[in-house]
Amino acid sequence: MGFRFKVSLVFIMGVVAGIILPGCISYQFVRQLRGVEIMPPDNRLKPGRTTLGEVLSIYGAPDNLEEFGGEDLLLYERILYGNSGLSLGIPFSDFTFFNPELSARGRLGRYDTLAVFFSSDGILREMVYTKGSSYPYLKTLFEEERATDGE
Amino acid sequence: MKNTIINRSNLVLEIRVLGGSSMKTVRYTIVILSMMLLCVSCAMFGKSKEYHGFDAKWLDRFTPGTTTAADVLEVFGAPSRMVKLSNGNAYVYERSVSKGTGIWLVLLSFGNYETQYDRVVFFFDPEDILTHYGLSMNAGDSSYGLPF
């Protein structure tokens, strides 16, 4: 009889905790990914020699393109967002006006980008590659911005 | 040896135990808490499309150097974007598929949202003659999953 009482008590406490706890404390993490992985440029891309057609056959259609100072810029981009949030609160709002809550949220966007510049005659002039997704999530999110020497 | 009877109609849980009860109490507590966890959890799957009707096979009809912008427009229809370039224009055709997955546990929730694109970009010279095109078909690679 005592054992049944204990189990029933645990059951009721479990139900109550299951209803109340999600409103009290919660942690969320959401990952958003846009685009496919971008290969770093290899020796097939040679400034002054490689043509627009060759770049298109290697990397496919660019994610973005625009005219930039008399040259054409093709951008290949993959974006990785990490959203996290921690909230603490007591859900009193159904009973009182008092509803204490403390929450902290962070969002980090990391970009893998290949920027390819072409002269107006379609010859590769310059390229820049950045792999932002290699930066660690938490360290990058909490790192304070440092002013450079020039600022 | 144990015997468990769960009567769902009035949520009475009856457990008969033969042997020591303290270890079994812990065990049943874990089972019940796990059940509670599952009962207040949920999962979500979602999919969205930004559709533009085009097919990569249609590119076989075009020949750089002879195909005109009008030919492309006739087959592919209105582009998603047009971009002015240093020596001509580019027409961009684009569509996307997004897939989302979410899991809510009692205190933790996780989500994953992935968007991939199908894209064709046509490059035209100032006389509107096709010079190049680039193709990326990745929308089908969009997938459900967890964020880790």
pLDDT tens digit sequence for A38-77 = 999 999 999 999 999 999 999 999 999 999 889 999 999 9
Domain hosting B33: range is 2-39
Confirm whether B146 is domain-assigned: no
Same domain, B35 and B108: no
- Whether residue B85 and residue A31 make contact (CB cut-off 8 A), yes or no, is no
Same domain, B16 and B81: no
Other C-beta atoms closer than 10 Å to the C-beta of A100 total 9
Partners of A117 in the β-ladder: A73, A126
Distances (CA, A) of B63 to B21, B70, B89, B123, B126: 81, 13, 17, 12, 17
- Residues of A in CB contact (< 8 Å) with B are 3-4, 6-8, 10-11, 14-15, 17-19, 21-22, 25-36, 52-53, 56-57, 59-63, 65-67, 70-72, 82, 120-122
Same domain, B24 and B62: no
Residues in chain B within 8 Å Cβ distance of A59: 134, 136
Confirm whether B52 is domain-assigned: yes
Confirm whether B17 is domain-assigned: yes
ipTM: 0.77
Q: Band of the pLDDT at A91, cuts 50, 70, 90?
A: low
Confirm whether B49 is domain-assigned: yes
B109, B103 contact by CB (below 8 A): yes
Confirm whether B15 is domain-assigned: yes
A19, B40 contact by CB (below 8 A): yes
Q: What CATH number does residue B74 fall under? A: 3.30.1450
Same domain, B68 and B100: yes
Q: Closest partner residue to A31 among B32, B109, B112, by Cβ?
A: B112
Q: Band of the pLDDT at B108, cuts 50, 70, 90?
A: confident
Same domain, B94 and B72: yes
| Number of domains into which chain B is organized | 2
Partners of A126 in the β-ladder: A117
Position B37 pLDDT exceeds 90: no
- Whether residue B32 and residue A122 make contact (CB cut-off 8 A), yes or no, is no
Same domain, B11 and B57: no
Same domain, B81 and B17: no
Q: Closest partner residue to B121 among A18, A61, A121, by Cβ?
A: A61
Confirm whether B147 is domain-assigned: no
- Whether residue A3 and residue B15 make contact (CB cut-off 8 A), yes or no, is yes
Same domain, B26 and B54: no
